[in-house]
Amino acid sequence: MDSYNAFPGNLILAIHPRVPFTNIGLFRNQQLIFLKKIMHTEEARKQSPDYAGECGMRSEQIYKEMVENNLPVADIKVVISRGGLVHPVQAGVYRVNEKMIEDLRAGVSGEDVVNLGGLVAAELAKMIRGASAFVADPVVVDEFDEIARVSGHAEFKRRSVFHALEQKAVARKYAKTVQKKYEDLNLIVGQMGNGITIGAHHRGRVIDANQGLDGDGPFSPSRAGQVPIGDLINLCYSGKYTREVLYDMITIHGGLYSYLGVHDGYSAEHMALNGDEKAVFYLKAMAYQVAKTIGSMFTVLSGDVDAILLTGGLVHSTVFMEELQSRIRRIAPVHTYASEDDVETLALNGYYILQGEIAVQEYEG
């Protein structure tokens, strides 16, 4: 277990990259002292062939922002971000080492903006003397039961790719409110934003979850979820699309975007509340599919569920949530949480590192 000799001057920089922006938060212990959404222009992003190529641009922009705001950059000891699509790992905090950087750049488990987290953290740590880079609860945290890995064909294996950081943070928050240990509860947890993942949490382990990245579970604002396989195979061989276009169709331009032309639940909700019946229908259809996935996790937990916990931007959609809750309320008590602040959750992990209260693990690939 590492100790970074915490004292009041030690600061934590938490970063959360998204496609058009990066959220950053600077913390002294658990106190936020600076928060900023740093926008990245489409022109700047187009200079790179992939997400990994944006690392330098984003890092320089973040560093410049901190300097221009006269922040005590030299006092930053921990730079922490979400973990990306590396090889499967156990839950926890990992040092960003050379092997992780190599695997993030290669996209060994997939290509997504989340891979920038560890890369930007490492680049910033190089720019700040005395700082170290970490990631917390990567999206490839793997605690699946072996039976959950079976896909239906020997050529394929179900993978654990879900919102581990957000789901585990909400689960622990709920456990604290009911004065129980997370490891003593059975929970169904849903993170519902641009992507949607539903996890079955059995006594502190996520034993099953839909793979929300590229084709499993409900559709979401940007992602198609599970589509008819035969039709997808036919489309692949139709000659109409390249592999890259088809992959974007599933992961970026699917879901609500394909039906309504908007990438987020807020815009779809606005359309629905202004009388757009098509928007109402597809928000309800999305809720229907989420409810089906929650129902499947109920069976994974053998019907023994203490609570259903829902978080993410979609909890603010009245049309979506009314439909969803009407379908799942008889399964178990439902609790909703305002969209989890990933920057705050990351900073808390950074605080534990400084205090020596968490074991920092080494990524081996």
Flag whether 193 is in a domain. Answer: yes
165 occurs within a structural domain? yes
Residue 260, pLDDT score: 98
pLDDT of residue 337: 93
In a domain, 2, yes or no: no
One domain for residues 313 and 241: yes
Say yes or no: 152 and 205 in one domain: yes
Q: What pLDDT, on a 0 to 100 scale, did the predictor assign at position 7?
A: 39
One domain, residues 174 and 311: yes
Residue 122 counted as domain residue: yes
- Is 5 inside any structural domain? no
Whether 204 and 276 share a structural domain: yes
Q: How many domains does the chain have?
A: 2
Domain range for residue 270? 146-332
Q: pLDDT digit string (tens) for 310-337?
A: 999 999 999 999 999 999 999 999 999 9
Residue 89 shares a structural domain with residue 110: yes
Q: Are residues 151 and 136 in the same domain?
A: no
pLDDT at 3: 41
* Predicted local confidence at residue 338, as pLDDT: 82
d(CA 290, CA 256): 14
Q: Measured between alpha carbons, how far is 133 from 316 in angstroms, rounded to an integer? A: 33
The CATH number that applies at residue 66 is 3.30.420.40
Burial of residue 285 (CB within 10 Å: 0-12, 13-18, 19+) is: middle
Which two three-digit tokens encode residue 211? 């793979």
Are 136 and 228 members of one domain?
no
Same domain? 74 vs 205: no
* Residues 80 and 189 both lie in one domain: no
Asked if residue 346 is part of any domain, the answer here is: yes
Stretches where the chain sits below pLDDT 70 are 1-9, 339-341
188 shares its domain with 320: yes
In a domain, 98, yes or no: yes
Q: Do the domain assignments include residue 308?
A: yes
User: What digits encode the pLDDT tens for the residues 3-15?
Assistant: 434 335 689 999 9
- Answer yes or no: do 102 and 38 share one domain: yes
pLDDT number for residue 4: 38
Residues 34 and 158 in one domain: no
